[in-house]
Structure 1
Amino acid sequence: MSSTHSSQPTSVISDASRHTRRQFFAQSALLAAGSAAVAAEPARSAVTAERRPNVLLIMTDDHGYGDLGCYGNPHLKTPNIDRLHAESTRLTQHHHSPVCTPTRASLMTGRYNYRTCAIDTFRGRAMMHPGETTIAEIFAASGYKTGIFGKWHLGDCFPMRACDKGFQESLVLRGGGLSQPADFPGGEGYFNPILLRDGVPERRDGYCADIFANEAIAFLERHKDEPFFLYVPTNAPHTPLEVEDRYAEPYRKLGLDDRIAKFYGMVANIDENVGRIMDALDRLGLRDNTIVLFMTDNGAQMPAEALRFNAGMRGQKATVYEGGIRVPCFVRWPEKISAGKDVERLTAHIDIAPTLLDLCGVPAPDTVRFDGRSAAPLLTDDNADWPDRTLFFQWHRGDAPEPYNNCCALTHQYKLVNGVELYDLQSDLAEENDIATQNPEVVTRLRKEYEAWFEDVSATRGYAPPEIVVGHERGGPTYLTLQDQRAGEGGGYGANGFWKTRIARAGTYDVTLRFAQEVNSGTAHVQIGGTRASAPIAEGAEFTIINGVKLHDGPASVRAWANNPDPANGARYVDIVHVDA
């Protein structure tokens, strides 16, 4: 490859936190020790006669079915992904949720996201319940090394971070993406980002996708002699559309809209990094015994249908039409899976966890109840039996799902959208011809199945967000951002909003508040449960520290504001650190 893709870490612990660095790193060490203990548990894998296969899962962000050369894009060049496609078995009717977090929850658990509390992408609705068991936890308990480098988007705070949920090594961005409300103050977007390494902030030099590829390659080098589960969920090509001009310029020269040129440039960079990771597998002798999956998290981001190739499908991200939920998914395992084969049976995100565990001979705990089924037979047996079933996809904004709001019930042949539109996908992939009136019995059946499913998943945990745990000895400092803030009475962010937390240890805490730039004087206030504290805002200060806040253990809502409780004066960042000796 022509680029060196170098990146270097830089400490970003602010002066506001330096007085607690000893506690911070002591707590981080405890966390690391806990992860190591999980990794050291005896393997339970059913595969004993030969080395168990490795797993590499690559998932890109807001990258549509038509955004690949191998699926007919007339402009975009993706030679490395195209090569991987040619070497793989392809699941051509694979479906994910319409947006980021729901897909990630289902991918990690093998369960519908409505069971997990991770129902949306922000405002406290993107935190997966810590009681869910992830595929990383199962692999780690079976002796695999586990790592994630990229976008987690299932919780930024203990006990919901990637490093709390089975990933022994992690370098991830916060929230749904860089340049979003969860990004660190001082973050520079996709270049030179501030990331979290195992929960500790770290600034890295370089472009985000290059950084994550570098980390993935280093992980492969460290663990080439032991089984591993490596998850590389890039945040590109999600907006903002930021990439070096050398990637976008070839598409500008084709006369494409500048947004599309930048988007295609981001995909070209991803393709280059996929090539680098595949080259590393070859160089390290890992190619034949590594299961490689490539997929995207949902359909194409805006603009899709109007401005770029969408593989003949209707809709885009956030919709339940095929352009929003049908995604590329191909699997390479030279030792066991045929190359160049298309599997046209219906599969989904809920199938990935049971499939990977099955292929690796790793049993799931008896307490885990998957909604999906193992697709291993489809991948390894040309004559495998695969009974049809109905799958369900739904997403919309709000604190709780509503029946028939942006949903679909999907079988191999039919799709019922919002309970009223019916399409035959075998003859109408573009979903142009509503055949509901001609097939009332199909509509009635799928409505009944959808209603039973909705009642079932809603009864699992309900939809209240899980609590952020503050002050736990393995949690380190708690970083609260607008990503996880619950909306107040006014419906927006700011002083009317709150964070739902639980104080793990009664004691003394220091609280650091950061406000919008225009709030640069007056008094900062914080209320945590029944405790309220204040401190003056120094003129021109980037943050205000309120020292010595005494907190009781137990549930506590957190609110923070400057001067008066107007939404414009709400804190954008609230850092809480336990300081008792």
Structure 2
Amino acid sequence: MLLKSQHLLYVLPLLLVCTATEFTCAAPDVSRPNVILIMSDDQGTGDYGFQGNELIRTPNIDAMHSRSGFLSNFYVSPVCAPTRASLMTGRYNYRTRCIDTYVGRSMMDPDEVTLAESLQQAGYRTGIYGKWHLGDNYPLRAMDQGFQDSLVHRGGGIGQPSDPIGAEGKYTDPTLFKNGDEVKKQGYCTDIFFDAAMEFIGDSVESGDNFFTYIATNAPHGPFDDVPQQLYEEYRKVDFSPIMIGNFRPDRLKQESDKLARIAAMVTNIDQNVGRLFDKLVELDILENTIVIYLNDNGPNTMRYVGNMRGMKTGVDDGGIRSPLLFHWPAKVSANKTVTKLCAHIDVAPTILDACDVTVPAEQHLDGRSFLPMLTGEDSDWPTRQVVFQSHRGDQPQLFNHFAIHEEPWKLVHPSGFGNEKLKGQPKLQLYDLSKDPRQNNDLADQQPDVVQRLSAGYEAWFKDVSSTRPDNYAPPRIVIGTEDELTTVLTRQDWRHLRGRPWAQDSAGFWLLEALDDAAYEVEVLFASPPPMGTATITAGKATTQLDIPAGKQLGNIAQLKIPAGKVRLDVEVNFDGKTQGPHQVILKRK
């Protein structure tokens, strides 16, 4: 059964909760801190003023940097869902079954213990606002994984096939999900997420509870057609060519410049909300003992300025996997405290749990470690270690494909390309001394064969270790249907197992891996993204099957009845339109 193992849950004694007044006393507060974790989506390591970008305005985050501890050598995964799995668990994503960004491979195994679960068990109120991207159905949702309050979009972003029908791509006035219920909101998505987070924070302070607030914006991820309009009009006048990488024809240059204006508008809008958030913390008198962390989830979503590095999102070169990490905690961390040691996404959860005095059971097996002692000055001893980053498309990672292993100052890398899983044999690896060559211009592999051999062996040992976390380590999680937690299950192409065609193309096909706890009758609704021609849908779950006539032009309300047997089942819905078959856009299962 997929439900979380109870032996991993634990309760710690609650420490004394301070009032808001106590946060303003002269001496630093010694009780547990509140925690706010902010992560933007596709904002690259160079999209900040304090990182040297003179065109994209981030004055509030720059000010936060001046008051914060700063991890200047911090790494994330090349793409978003893997980073989120590591961030929430303190473990490499290859241990969590979350190994890609779509077609059922961005779902995280529900037995993983999340940061939210650990903090909730320790007495914190927990809330998430924005992008979860680790599963849209029970028992994979944020609300099933430790978050008591959630306002999120489905899938990997607004504007994807997981959007509710009719709400596709709307960053302004989006349709979101509040604790599992579909809600129509007014305003721009980033503003909405920060508003909800600040309401949650205010309610927590009023009730005297410590809180953990996770704000994960979907901006500046595409689509780029719906952005803060006033900021966009300002940025349209900016010449972005100094931070654009590559040679462009005049027409393409115009398109790329317009795209950057839209991205910059979204980034500055995030920055404005960060300023509002800090104002709220001051208003509530909780600034001193509230940890605020800011980072991005991967490299930038275009080839643009990444400082003295190379690369972008999906790449394992440093520009694709570097992020600044700001750690604002006035009670314990001095302003302008810079940590240059190698740290990564797997270290964030251990650090937060350390700061909150939450003990992690040994059987939870974290890959990361707390970097808090380096920020507080209590202990600057940080061992030289090897940290690995790898990303791929599909069900199974391939040894030596699209990976990088870091051991200060070395980087051993094979940037073969995200989605290029055709490697045969051991490739020619590249070796760089990042302390002297951060742009990775001077490959030292031939000059340093001993280093290559040591790091290569370390990578192989890592690959074997993470791949053997479970007997069926890379099998995708299943969606559990028909429970009281989710009587109506919406299945989308985000989580289907793709069969043929381009995964999200209208004429593609796929199926869903489900688990039913008992035999039950279901109402099955078949939905289409646009008015379909006349056709016939064949619906199969295990040995149960039925057919459904699809009238021409009927997107919604195509309903059949099916009894789904208990156990692990595969749900296929194949629609025949004049001899050509395809999958539906979405399927809704409603237990009767």
Deviates more, 1:346-355 or 1:199-208: 199-208
* Structure-2 residue corresponding to 1:18: none
Give identity over the alignment, percent.
45
Change (3 A) 1:218 1:77: same
| Matched residue SS, 2:540 | strand
1:218 is displaced (CA, Å) by 0.5
Residue in 1 that maps onto 2:456: 447
CA distance in 2, matches of 1:417, 1:105: 22
Q: Give the count of matched residue pairs.
A: 538
Could you tell me which residue of structure 1 aligns to residue 294 of structure 2? 294
CA distance in 2, matches of 1:114, 1:44: 33
CA contact (8 A) 2:130 2:152 kept: yes
Contact kept, 8 Å, 2:503 with 2:509, in 1: the verdict is yes
Query: 1:15 aligns to what?
Result: none
Task: Give the letter for the 1:243 counterpart.
Answer: V
The answer on whether the counterparts of 2:534 and 2:577 sit within 8 Å (CA) in structure 1 is no
Partner deviation per Cα, 1:454-473 (whole Å, 9 max, x = no partner): 00100113111011111112
1:148-547 equivalent positions in 2, closer than 5 A: 148-189=128-169, 190-224=171-205, 225-241=208-224, 242-256=226-240, 257-304=257-304, 309-381=305-377, 384-418=380-414, 420-461=429-470, 462-488=473-499, 492=503, 496-547=509-560
2:136 equivalent to 1:136: no
- Deviation of the 1:496 alpha carbon: 3.8
Structure 1 letter corresponding to 2:296:
T
What does 1:5-16 correspond to in 2, within 5 Å?
Answer: none
Segment of structure 1 superposing worse, 88-97 or 485-494: 485-494
- State the one-letter code of the partner of 2:479: I
User: How many Å apart are 1:568 and its aligned residue?
Assistant: 5.7
What's the counterpart of residue 79 of structure 1? 59
> Match of 1:295, SS?
strand
Q: Which runs of 5+ in 2 are unaligned?
A: 19-29, 241-256, 415-427
Q: Find the residue that maps to 1:338 and give its secondary structure.
A: coil
8 Å contact 2:47–2:306 — kept in the other structure?
yes
**Secondary structure of 2:196 counterpart:** helix
Shift of 1:489: 5.4
* Rounded Cα–Cα distance in structure 2 between residues aligned with 1:105 and 1:198: 20
Task: Choose 194-203 or 512-521, whichever is displaced more.
Answer: 512-521
Contact 1:507 1:550 in 2 (8 A): yes
Q: Distance in 2 between matches of 1:439 and 1:198?
A: 54
Shift of 1:205: 1.5
Q: SS of 1:385's equivalent?
A: coil
Q: Relative to 1, partners in 2 of residues 1:66 and 1:551: Cα closer, same or farther, differing over 3 Å?
A: same
Counterpart residue type for residue 183 of structure 1: D
Cα distance in 2 between the residues matched to 1:139 and 1:385 = 27
Structure 1 residue 272: Cα displacement: 0.6
Q: Deviations over 1:289-329 (max 9, x none)?
A: 1011000001111232xxxx221210011011110001010
Deviation at 1:41, TM superposition (A): 8.8
Contact between 1:58 and 1:233, CA under 8 Å: does it hold in 2? yes
Deviations 1:430-453 (A, max 9, x none): 111101111100000000000000
Shift of the 290–475 alpha-carbon distance from structure 1 to 2, 3 Å rule, reads: same
Q: Could you say what secondary structure the match of 2:456 adopts?
A: helix
What per-residue deviation string (whole Å, max 9, x for no partner) do you get for residues 36-84 of structure 1?
A: xxxx996435789953110000000001111001111021111111111
Alpha-carbon distance, 1:532 to partner? 1.1
CA distance in 2, matches of 1:568, 1:145: 48
Does structure 2 retain, via aligned residues, the 8 Å contact 1:146–1:230? Answer: yes
1:271–1:489 distance in 2 versus 1, CA, 3 Å: closer
CA distance in 2, matches of 1:101, 1:328: 18
Distance 2:113 2:16 in 1: 22
SS of equivalent to 2:499:
coil
| 1:101-128: CA deviation from partner (whole Å, max 9, x where unpaired) | 0000000000000000000000111000
* 1:232 aligned partner, one-letter code: I
Q: Give the drift of 1:158.
A: 0.7
C-alpha spacing 1:72/1:495, structure 2 compared with 1 (3 Å): closer
Q: Which of 567-576 and 292-301 deviates more?
A: 567-576
Within 5 A, what are the aligned runs for 1:566-581? 569-579=582-592
Q: Report deviation, 1:341.
A: 1.6
1:172–1:48 distance in 2 versus 1, CA, 3 Å? closer
Contact 1:89 1:332 in 2 (8 A): yes
Deviation at 1:522, TM superposition (A): 2.7
Contact 1:495 1:561 in 2 (8 A): no
CA deviation after TM superposition for structure 1 residue 275, in Å: 0.8
2:532 touches 2:554 (CA, 8 Å); kept in 1?
Answer: no
TM-score by length of 2: 0.88
Aligned partner letter, 2:434: L
* Cα distance in structure 1, aligned partners of 2:265 and 2:509: 40
Distance 2:375 2:450 in 1: 33
Stretches of structure 1 lacking an aligned partner (at least 5 in a row)? 1-30, 35-39
SS in 2 for 1:262: helix
Q: How much has 1:543 moved relative to structure 2?
A: 1.5
Given candidates 44, 59, 66, the residue that maps to 2:13 is 44
Residue type matched to 1:488 in 2? Answer: L
CA-based RMSD of the aligned residues comes to: 2.1
Deviation string, structure 1 residues 135-173 (Cα, Å, up to 9, x no partner): 100000111000000000000111000000000000111
Note the alpha carbon deviations across 1:198-237, whole angstroms, 9 max, x for none: 1111111211101101101101111012101100000000
For residues 535 and 60 of structure 1, the distance between their equivalents in structure 2, rounded to whole angstroms, comes to: 43
Aligned mates of 1:505, 1:275 — CA distance in 2: 50
TM-aligned CA deviation for residue 565 of structure 1 = 10
Partners of 1:567 and 1:103 lie apart in 2 by 39
The residue number in structure 2 matching 1:8 is none
The residue type equivalent to 2:49 in the other structure is: G
Moved more, 47-56 or 88-97: 47-56
- Cα distance in 2, alignment partners of residues 565 and 369 from structure 1: 54
Check conservation: 1:515, 1:570, Cα contact below 8 A: no
**Separation of aligned partners in 1, 2:150 and 2:578:** 37
SS in 2 for 1:560: strand
Contact 2:575 2:581 in 1 (8 A): no
**Cα distance in 1 for residues equivalent to 2:364 and 2:334:** 30
What is the CA–CA distance in structure 1 between the aligned matches of 2:93 and 2:489, rounded to whole Å? 25
Report the secondary structure of 2:341's partner residue: strand
**Alpha-carbon separation, structure 2, partners of 1:109 and 1:239:** 26
* Partner secondary structure for residue 361 of structure 1: coil
Contact between 1:516 and 1:569, CA under 8 Å: does it hold in 2?
no
Secondary structure of the 2:340 match is strand
